Amino acid sequence: MYNSPVPLDIEARVTANTRLSRDYNVLALAAPEIAAAVAPGQFVMVKPGRGYDPLLRRPFSVFEILRTSGGAVTGLTLLSKRIGVTTTLLFEAVEGDVVSCLGPLGRPFTLVDPPAEAWIVAGGVGLAPFATLTEALGARRTPITMFYGARTGAELFYLDWFRERDVRLVLTTEDGSSGERGRVTGPLDRELQQARGRDVMIYACGPEPMLEAVAHLAARRGQPCQVSVERVMGCGMGGCYSCVIPVREPRGGQHYVRSCLAGPVFTGADIVWD
Amino acid sequence: MDLSVTLGALRLKNPLMAASGCFGYGVEYASAVDLATLGGVVSKGLFLAPREGHPPERIVETPAGMLNAIGLQGIGVHRYIEEKLPELRERGATNIVNICGSTLDEYVELARILSDADGVHALELNISCPNIKEGGITFGCSLQGTFDVVSAVRKVTQLPVLPKLTPNVTDVASFARQAEDAGADAISLVNTFLAMAIDVETRRPRLSNIVGGLSGPAIRPIAVRMVYECRRAVKIPIIGMGGIATAEDALEFMIAGASAVQIGTANFVDPFVWGKVLAGIERYMTRHNIDRLQDLVGTIDTSTREKEWISS
């Protein structure tokens, strides 16, 4: 039997829209019921406004859980990068707008406890699932290192947020304007070589070539790795079969599975990278 | 208030059916909707054997619609019977299994197997998927092929047989007549419209299969017209679909001549669409003093009228 919990569909009011750069914004939504139920790595299907343009919802990782000073959950935020119709509407949204929000959906990250360490690898907007993961790991006192790469220093966000939560940051930028010049896999591989024998769990989210590189590095250095993939998704519920990704079959061969149901979090070694 | 529908030997609680390929195998949506409250659940298209389907990208959004070229990824009929049907039965769903064959014999074999399975209420014959080369559409685009598939399946099953027609022909009504002559209990129409989209920056097709099927509100007026044409061509009931997202959309199809309707793409957007559409239909029935929803079917009024002066 499918025993997934009932997803909630909330017409969520926009309570804040913070522009982080020319293309990135953080949108706060009054969807406390979803925020209270979400596990790190899960996603919501979002549709700004009514009508048929855009027609389909789009998947977003839940970025932050918003709480009152007393700890009551009031909503959630989405980290969005403006690239298409939906993300443009989310970028331009103002307080009081309504965004339809369905979730929480998908398989979350598997958490680890000390003495294991968590190594987060984030590329660009792939930072999104790691605020909630950091809070969940922090509650278990699992030490966290985050390798965080972007094109340029102006697109590295929330650095203080992560530092305040005792996350050790290793930053890279493609233009060298902040941190080490190059890709995030550079320092990751160096540190993996030094971490032989230690118990490390890698969590990665970002462009698919980055995920592939991270999964290969993890396999080569003998460390486990969970990746959160982003595929073109139509429904988020397992209905449309558009978001498939090839995974290795136990008996050999490969097979397309729906990343909305079997993922978005996968064991890196299970995925057949193109 | 009576919302029930009779399609040959198939009786539905209400006219709302989940369209094939838009509702997984049904079980995926059991968390969002009580499957027993739907008129019917049409399975994803099934061949005898499992299929992997096309590589991504499999869908792309277009104005008020979407293209898909999934390529009928599926678990095959045997796993459907073993893994999905027991749960569907337990949940009280009315199960219409959508079957696809590469050959006439495959349709016949599928019909035989499903006729012996407990909990199958009807067969929808997919002779209209635009996304695969072999079978299916080859039959559905030929009048003789349509007749042959329907009559071959008709001979081997007592289950209601519902061929699903393609809109990618010049005269869909002539295909409806073939289906009726071959012994179909009802017809489903329409499947998606063959279409494509290109990324002008890269000049690459947006779908890996290059072409795909267009669905969603964009196709609704064409689908309504096809239902209207077929209503006048055949006596068997019509299951109408194509871009239905609201009660008004469903009612439009019924007034054009559909006895039941299927919702597909709108379920992707809103898995809770079912209760909303049903409630809207009930409100309409109250407002128009309709006790029996089937009395609405085909009641389109095309008579000429004197202009009425309506004082506001």
Question: Residue A168: is its pLDDT beyond 90?
Answer: yes
Gap between the terminal Cα atoms of chain A: 32
A55 contacts B64? CB cut-off 8 A: yes
- In this structure, the number of other CB atoms found within 10 A of the CB of residue A75 comes to 24
Please report the pLDDT score of residue B309 as a whole number. Answer: 73
Query: Is the CB of residue A59 less than 8 Å from the CB of residue A44?
Result: yes
Residue B27 with chain A: CB contacts under 8 Å: 1-2
| Cα separation, B160 vs B162, whole angstroms | 7
A244 contacts B58? CB cut-off 8 A: yes
User: A58 in contact with B at a CB cutoff of 8 Å?
Assistant: no
Please report the pLDDT score of residue B87 as a whole number. Answer: 97
Q: For tokens 């349509």, name the residue.
A: B146
Residue B68 with chain A: CB contacts under 8 Å: 234, 240, 242
Q: What angle do CA A236, A102, A74 make, to 5 degrees?
A: 140
CA of B268: which chain A residue's CA is closest? A235
With cut-offs at 50, 70 and 90, classify the pLDDT of residue B134.
low
Query: Is the CB of residue B43 less than 8 Å from the CB of residue B285?
Result: no
Question: Residue B254: is its pLDDT beyond 60?
Answer: yes
A1-36 pLDDT, tens digit each: 555 678 999 999 999 999 999 999 999 999 999 999
Residue A44 is which amino acid?
V
* Nearest partner of A203 among A114, A95, A272, A127, judged by Cα: A127
Chain B interface mutation, best of A52, A101, A245, highest count of B Cβ atoms under 10 Å: A52
- The CA distances from residue A18 to A21, A81, A128, A155, in Å, are 9, 12, 15, 14
Mean pLDDT over each residue of chain A, to the nearest integer: 96
- The CA distances from residue A79 to A17, A108, A132, A205, A215, in Å, are 10, 18, 12, 13, 24
B173-226 pLDDT, tens digit each: 999 999 999 999 999 999 999 999 999 999 999 999 999 999 999 999 999 999
Q: What angle do CA A135, A138, A140 make, to 5 degrees?
A: 120
B272 contacts A6? CB cut-off 8 A: no
- The CA distances from residue B20 to A93, B45, B129, in Å, are 35, 6, 11
Q: How close does chain A come to B39, measured CA to CA in Å? A: 18
Residue A102 with chain B: CB contacts under 8 Å: 271
Please report the pLDDT score of residue B312 as a whole number. Answer: 64
Residue A247 with chain B: CB contacts under 8 Å: none
> DSSP per residue over B76-89, as a string?
HHHHIIIIIHHHHH
Question: Residue A196: is its pLDDT beyond 60?
Answer: yes
With cut-offs at 50, 70 and 90, classify the pLDDT of residue B135.
low
| Cα separation, B308 vs B139, whole angstroms | 49
Phi, psi of A105 (to 5 degrees): -130, 155
Question: Which of the two residues, A193 and B304, has the higher pLDDT score?
Answer: A193
3-class DSSP state of B234: coil
B28 contacts A261? CB cut-off 8 A: yes
| Cα separation, A64 vs B147, whole angstroms | 58
Percent of chain B with pLDDT strictly greater than 90? 91
Name the B residues in 13-32 with CB < 8 Å from any A CB. Answer: 21-24, 27-32
Could you list the active site residues of B?
A: 129
B60 contacts A255? CB cut-off 8 A: no
Cis bond leading into A264, ω under 30°? yes
- The CA distances from residue B7 to A28, A116, B155, B244, B293, in Å, are 49, 61, 18, 20, 14
A238 contacts B24? CB cut-off 8 A: yes
Question: Residue B130: is its pLDDT beyond 70?
Answer: no
| Cα separation, A169 vs A120, whole angstroms | 9
B274-296 pLDDT, tens digit each: 999 999 999 999 999 999 999 99
On the CB side of B98, how many CA atoms lie within 13 Å of its CA?
A: 29
* Nearest partner of A236 among A79, A57, A12, A77, judged by Cα: A57
User: A242 in contact with B at a CB cutoff of 8 Å?
Assistant: yes
Chain B interface mutation, best of A55, A99, A243, highest count of B Cβ atoms under 10 Å: A55
User: B265 in contact with A at a CB cutoff of 8 Å?
Assistant: yes
With cut-offs at 50, 70 and 90, classify the pLDDT of residue B304.
confident
Please report the pLDDT score of residue B265 as a whole number. Answer: 98
3-class DSSP state of B95: strand
B270 contacts A241? CB cut-off 8 A: no
Query: Is the CB of residue B213 less than 8 Å from the CB of residue B191?
Result: yes
- Residues A85-94 have a mean pLDDT of 96
